[in-house]
Chain A
Amino acid sequence: MANKDQIVAQLKKRIEDFKAEATVEKVGTVVEVGDGIARIAGLSECMSQEMIEFENGEFGVALNLEEDTVGAMILGDYLGIKEGDQVKLTGRILEVPVGEAVIGRVVNPLGQPLDGQGEIKSDKFYPVEKIAPRVIERKSVKTPVQTGIKAIDSMIPIGRGQRELIIGDRQTGKTALAVDTIINQHDQDMICVYVAIGQKKSKVAKLVAKLKEHGAMKYTTVVMAGASDPASLTFISPYAGCAMGEYFMDQGKDVLIIYDDLSKHAVAYREISLLLKRPPGREAYPGDIFYLHSRLLERAAKLSEEKGGGSLTALPVIETQAGDVSAYIPTNVISITDGQIFLESDLFYKGIRPALNTGISVSRVGSAAQIKAMKKVAGKLKLSMAQFRELEAFAQFGSDLDEATQKQLNLGRRLTEILKQGQYEPMPVANQVAILFAALSGYLDDVAVEKVSEFEKEFHKYMSVSGREVLDKINQTKELNEETETKLKQVIEDFKKQYTN
């Protein structure tokens, strides 16, 4: 009874305290609406990128300010908006809720929940469009992001604060690579944001289920603009995801954000631009399509100590058509990012998965973003792989090869085998160092190529028991000094004895 009175009293108080002040608002009227775009007359004093509110409660963003009309995109359902509807200026710029509340959630680009786990209660908001950190606020990229994928961590290292493009045809494992990277962050003190841009909802549902299964949703936010959502939501989704990540970066944390994928983002922006009657350019994309992606990817940064030392690592994904990387959007994004990971369908069908083309994949940050132990093995690995690629093409013609060439080819074949990795099986960096060290030191030369993957599996099993000490040492010191090296050699020899028997 008392409880009931309390509620009534509370409600009463809230109603009494409530003051609605009548304010003068600037309004306009809708003169044209269609395809997610509205043209509005009036609205004097409207700012560019300002949020506007329609009569039915939907929001829009003013994009085109013209002589006597304003062109705006509608965020949400445009079917409820009629010609002649009143439109109000809000005086605000588009914002999304940020903070701990969004972690572990699936949200739409406006920060509204899509996972049915209740409202997102956050009192902090970040603007969707934000200017990237300035030069003084930045620091050079030094600490590694451990993707857990052998081929990437060894040869194409990614640093915290870097932007590394994942590019390839459809069905080459681009998303798989991104998901594996998220899964591997469970012990890396990293917050992940996965932005699904114009993706099939079934695919995203599957992905979220996989992340949950591996316990990765505990530190991950999924921002989703589905294929059936209007182009305006698809367009703002990467910026919204970035804003959510930026909050944690400003708190001094490390954030990994994946934009999957930016080709669809460009298509959505093209749709909006053409409907707003902006002039089309190459491939019918508008003139500012480069700025669209550059301003987004510039927001990835490693902040200086004064700014808290946080970082935002961006892994944009681009889907190419039939391997054509010289199309407009791929070339743009390649030139913006600090390197790219090429995935090829040929390699994929050959059974080399992840289907990385190690020859043309690069990371411009390079070995600065590797632990010392990895640096030591990676140098040799890169060289061996380069030589192998050279010789492989050549060896297809001749049969008489000298011993040195033969040896190089054998090593190359085994290394290729080692660099293969199953999906959802990211590997800790110490294990990567151990197996690569074993291969490069010639311990695998007497193992048949077909048996290498089996050997590797057994090896890691053995290492987790008998080689624990060495792995811990590498993890602690992040180095492979002589003492550890001899110990590692000893463990490998012991294992080989046991394995052959």
Chain B
Amino acid sequence: MKKISPKQYAVALYQVIKDKQGNQLNQAFDNFLQLVRQNKDWKNLDKIVKAFAKVYLEEENLSEATVVTAREIPDALLAKIKKWLEESGQKSVSLKKEIDPSLLGGLVIRQADSVLDASLKTKLKKLQFNLNK
């Protein structure tokens, strides 16, 4: 039989526990772990957890985004960014922030596989490339 991929496990797990609560939920988890052990996929548990996080976000129409800035930014601005992201992506966004002084200025927003790079560092790099041409 073909091996079950971590992603398939994750989708299955999500479907099973979607509407369950309390004891039922615990039972479902137990069963799931037993199944994984039976199939000797124990070593892939890490990957399954990661895949599950992705599946969960997708199914619940959520997304995670990180805002990187050179300096601390006020919460009001953060809220603005969040609102803008939610409107453009039609998804509710949970925002994290990071500080990276090497950006010099501006900001970088990372969301899933996409990056919006509006940092001063990148702009200067582009200017350098343009002047060298």
Contact = CB atoms under 8 A, between A and B. Distances in A.
Interface residues of A, number: 20
A28 B126 contact: no
A67 B7 CA distance: 10
Interface string B1-39: 000010100000000000000000000000000000000
Interface string A42-81: 1111000000000000000000000110000000000000
A134 interface: no
Interface stretch (B56-64, B94-102, B110-118): B110-118
B117 A25 contact: yes
Say what secondary structure dominates the interface of chain B: mixed
A27 B126 contact: no
B76 interface: no
B122 A20 contact: yes
A22 B5 CA distance: 37
Contact of B113 (A15, A20, A23, A27): A27
B114 A24 contact: yes
Contact of A28 (B113, B116, B122): B113
B30 to A, nearest CB: 28
A15 B127 contact: yes
Given A14-B130, A67-B5, A20 B115 contact: no
B115 A27 contact: yes
Interface of B: 5, 7, 106, 110, 112-118, 122-123, 126-127, 130-131
Chain A to chain B: the 8 pairs with minimum beta-carbon distance, closest first: A22-B118, A20-B123, A20-B126, A44-B113, A42-B113, A27-B115, A24-B116, A25-B115
23 contacts: A11-B131, A14-B130, A15-B127, A18-B130, A20-B122, A20-B127, A22-B106, A22-B118, A22-B122, A23-B117, A24-B114, A24-B116, A25-B114, A26-B113, A26-B114, A26-B115, A27-B113, A27-B115, A28-B113, A42-B113, A44-B112, A67-B7, A86-B115
Interface of A: 11, 14-15, 18, 20, 22-28, 42-45, 67-68, 86, 88
